[in-house]
Every structure is written in structure tokens, then in C-alpha cells.
Structure 1
């Protein structure tokens, strides 16, 4: 059955949705995106994702699309018509199609942004076996561009990192810059020592994760301490626990890095509890 997608104000069957070959998202990766999780037919952390989208657009000087204020309604409609119980809604905004290729930005008065949304059904999103068993990762050099705080569609190197992990027979990779972990290929990275969560501070080096912000807030409410600072792979291997966060993984325990077991080699109690708290609180606030 064909999905219904949203393109520039229209709800269309996916095989009827067309974007120009001159769209700057295609030619220049001149676009930003967001992914919002759906649990029980409701959107998780939608307001945070919309706020970050607005920031990304502003950072790249992309005009806010006319549909911006209607995004919640559009998300809900796509969830409804596609019968999504658990899954994701993907949103992409490009600078649009000027009708030809040019490095210079087109005039926003005449070239409007392209807006695309589609859903992905993922039954059991919150009960994946990896959350119970933990994931294994490798470390790789961080070779991305310098503005990782902007959620652009420039995902080639993270995709290559995912493939490096796959070839190594593990789930994912943590990227390392100047000896310190920046983040995972599609998630923020953390270690736990005692009652303290350690994670890299917000800067242009990492994505300002919506799930990250919520999890750290819940951790503080649970009387855990937070240290926002750099940490190395060696420190991570010697930690009591490790985990990642993202919109689709929520809180995911990490049990092995570069072949070295973390802690007892099973998901740690604090990471698992944070996952429980995040899901419980997020579902209460879901829209």
C-alpha cells in the first residue's frame, strides 16, 4: 500500500510526489531536516523538534516555509492517514529550486523552500531488543563539516560511519576529534561514572539533541549529577556504563567499544532507568 506524503502543500501518494532536479537539497545538500518519533499514534517532543528546525533554518538563512505554523497539523494528518501507531515522521526543508544550478543562493522573494514530509512505520519502536541487550560500537575519526549543530541533510560521512560499523559487525560508531568523543553517527554519546553522567558540552561540534535535553533534565530530577565535558574512548571503556540518545533510539545502552566490554558487559541499571523515565514522561506529554 502506497504511503501518503506531503509536498509543498499537497498530500499525495508517494509515487506521485516529484521534486525538481534543480532543487538545492539535491544539488547542494542545501537543506535541513527533523525526525519526530511516534508512539501510540502520538508525536514525541514535537515542540522541541519544531524549535530546532527554526534554528537550523535561521543559521542557514533559509526562508521559513509558509507551512511552518501548520507543521503539527501536517504531522498529525500524515500519522492518521498512514495509520502509524509506532514509527517516525521525517521532515525536510530545502532552499528550493531556482530552475538551474548555481552556488549563489537564489532570491527568497522568488524561490520558495521545498517542504517534504513522510512517515515510516516501525512497530515496536520502544521495545527493540537492542534496548534490552545493549549495542556494540567502534570509534572512528570525525571527518564531518564544522557546523554539526545545524541539522542539515549532509549525512554522507555519518552514513559511511554506519557502514564502517556494519563491516565491523557492530551496531554503530562514535566519532572522535582531537582525541575526544564528539557524538555517534546519529546520536549523542554519554558515559556514566558512579552517579555522574558525562557528555560533551553543547557547541558547534555536536548536534543539540532534543532527546539529549530531555534526558539530562530527567536525570537531574532523579538526583544524578551531570558533567558536560570532553571524554576519550579510553575513559569510556573504563566507565561504569555508556549510552546514546536520539529521537528514534530514545536511551540506548552501549555495552562494548572497540571490542572492549564496558562494566559487566550488560546494559547498566542507570541507563535502563533513564530509558524508562524518558519514555514514561515523553508519552505523558506526547501530542
Structure 2
């Protein structure tokens, strides 16, 4: 089972229990974060922790650790669990209190948990690309908060799974927003486009890395809203997330993207992204 963190202490994972009246369990009253680990080192840890604290602040949960304290705890957890390639999952809730929709009094202490999981890189899919579906975006209007309330995302992902696809591309009317657990990019005539980081999408850490890589390597990129028609007419489409990295999309709703093969701009960004991983975490083994 390994070890987990519960409220600042590293304990046996089998002992990491929370109360039935924890507000995360009863209301989804909390936020979460997932950090990728390569070669036993966290990738873009500063950016993930910043987003974690920002999400927590956005719903009025006081974060109980400094970034330095939490980083140290997570590093210790990686070592104790001997994690080489995988993820750290962590979440914070408003804490344990008698069930009431209104927030409890300020003396209620937030509940923080974290654990690790082995998750290999999706090497084969990164080479061949993945299939997706389209679905209406039914989620709430604060998608920028990485909330525990993921029912809309789950319904979209389940619909994709039922149709034998990797991801669901969501849209509000004619405007594409993001995937159920990823940001979506299109390429047309060499220009990379992706939805602006506003309240309608989650500001992806991997997305931000891609924006930086494009700027450094003279790859034209614009954050803008694009339509379903533009998605259908794109030269290339790819998704980005913590666990999927830069993932080519080769089919959308049964229709191939161009010739149904990963294309040049996407492959270039994959190369640049791996270089960034290796800069932070060391050389990756050939898959």
C-alpha cells in the first residue's frame, strides 16, 4: 500500500482515513492537484502548487502549509514510496463539520491528503495519436477552479469511453472549450490556437509549458476561442495534460484529422516538451 500524507504527517496509506462528515465527501467542498513525477522528481512543481493554493483561496479554504513545507513533504513521500514514474495526487477540503450547506465556523481545520501512484508515460499513444468525441460542455462557470466537483467531466469522459475513445472535446454552443481532463489545441497554416485561460477552462500547467515553448522556438501561437467548424478544418489537433503530455488527436467524432497521423507541429512540440522534462527531471528512458 505504501505511504500517504494526512494533515501534514506521513503515515501508512492503509491508515489514511477521513471522517464521513468531511465536506469533501459530502459536498465536494474542496480542490485537488496532480503532479507528474519523472525519475523520482516532480515536474513543474512550483506551478502546480501555485495553482493548488490559488484554487483553495478561490473557495475560501485557508491553506495550512507554505509551498516550501509542502514541497519538502511531497519529496519525502516520493522517496518513502520509491516512486520513479507516476503522479502525486493531493486534495484539500474544508474539513469535518456537521452537514450544513453554509460554511462551518473558522475553527474547523481543513483536511489535506496526498498519495502517489505509478503511472507510466503513454508512449504508444504519443506516437500514434488518440480518438476523441464531441460533447456539449454542461459544467459550471468556474472551470478555472480545480474543484472536486467533477461530475460534468466524468459524464463526458464516460461517454468517450463508451464510444471507444480517449477523450471528449467539450463545446459551449459552437465554441470549443477543453477536454474532460485536458486542454485542446488546433493548428491551421502553422498557427497554434487554444482557448484563453479564463473561467470557462482550467488553466493547464502543461498548456502553459507549451505556450512558453512556442514563444521560445518561434512557433506562432494565439490564445483565442475557436469554433467547431475551425476544429473540423484544422490541419492538426492535439490535447495537453499532466499525464498525457502533448498528445496527438487523429480522429474526432469518427472523422479523421487530415490523414489520421500525428503531424509536424505536434511532433515538434512533443520533442520540445520532452526536452523540458529532461531539463527538470533528467533523461527519460526509451519506451
Instruction: State if a TM-score over 0.5 links the two structures.
Output: yes
Q: How far 1:162 sits from its partner (Å)?
A: 1.1
- Looking at structure 1, the residues matched to 67 and 272 of structure 2 have their Cα atoms a distance apart, in angstroms, of 31
Query: What is the DSSP-based 3-state SS (H/G/I as helix, E as strand, rest coil) of the residue aligned with 1:47?
Result: helix
Structure 1 vs Structure 2 CA RMSD: 1.3
Asked if the contact 2:143–2:200 (Cα under 8 Å) also holds between the matched residues in 1, the reply is yes
State the match for 2:5 in structure 1.
Answer: 6
Distance 2:277 2:70 in 1: 19
Give yes or no for the alignment of 1:269 onto 2:264.
yes
Q: What's the CA shift for 1:16?
A: 1.2
Distance 2:71 2:278 in 1: 16
In structure 2, what is the Cα distance between the partners aligned to 1:131 and 1:166?
18
Question: How many residues matched?
Answer: 282
Distance 1:30 1:38 in 2: 27
Distance in 1, Cα, partners of 2:228 & 2:85: 34
Give yes or no for contact 1:175–1:185 (8 Å, CA) kept in 2: yes
The structural deviation recorded for 1:280 is 1.1
CA distance in 1, matches of 2:246, 2:14: 34
Equivalent position of 2:153 in the other structure: 158
Tell me what 1:113 maps to: 110
Q: Which residue number corresponds to residue 46 of structure 2? A: 47
Distance across 1 between alignment mates of 2:132 and 2:230: 15
Where in structure 2 are the equivalents of 1:52-91 lying within 5 Å?
A: 52-66=51-65, 68-91=67-90
- Indicate the larger mover: 25-34 or 232-241: 232-241
CA distance in 1, matches of 2:229, 2:132: 13
Moved more, 80-89 or 2-11: 2-11
The DSSP-based 3-state class of the residue aligned with 2:157 is helix
- What is the CA–CA distance in structure 1 between the aligned matches of 2:143 and 2:32, rounded to whole Å? 13
5+ residue gaps, structure 1: none
**How far apart, CA to CA, are the structure 2 residues paired with 1:286 and 1:174?**
31
1:104 Cα shift? 1.1
Aligned to 2:285: none
Q: 1:38 is matched with which residue?
A: 37
- TM-score (norm. length: structure 1): 0.95
User: In the alignment, is residue 184 of structure 1 matched against residue 186 of structure 2?
Assistant: no
- Following superposition, the deviation at residue 9 of structure 1 comes to 2.0
Counterpart-to-counterpart distance in 2, 1:79 and 1:113: 23
Q: Which residue matches 1:103?
A: 101
User: For the Cα contact (< 8 Å) 1:194–1:240, is it kept in 2?
Assistant: yes
1:198 to 169, 190, 193: 193
CA contact (8 A) 1:243 1:271 kept: yes
Query: Structure 2 unaligned runs (5+)?
Result: 283-287
- Separation in 1, partners of 2:70, 2:279: 21
Deviation at 1:114, TM superposition (A): 0.5
Which residue is equivalent to 1:122? 119
Q: Distance in 1 between matches of 2:247 and 2:49?
A: 24
**TM-score of the pair, normalised by structure 2:** 0.95
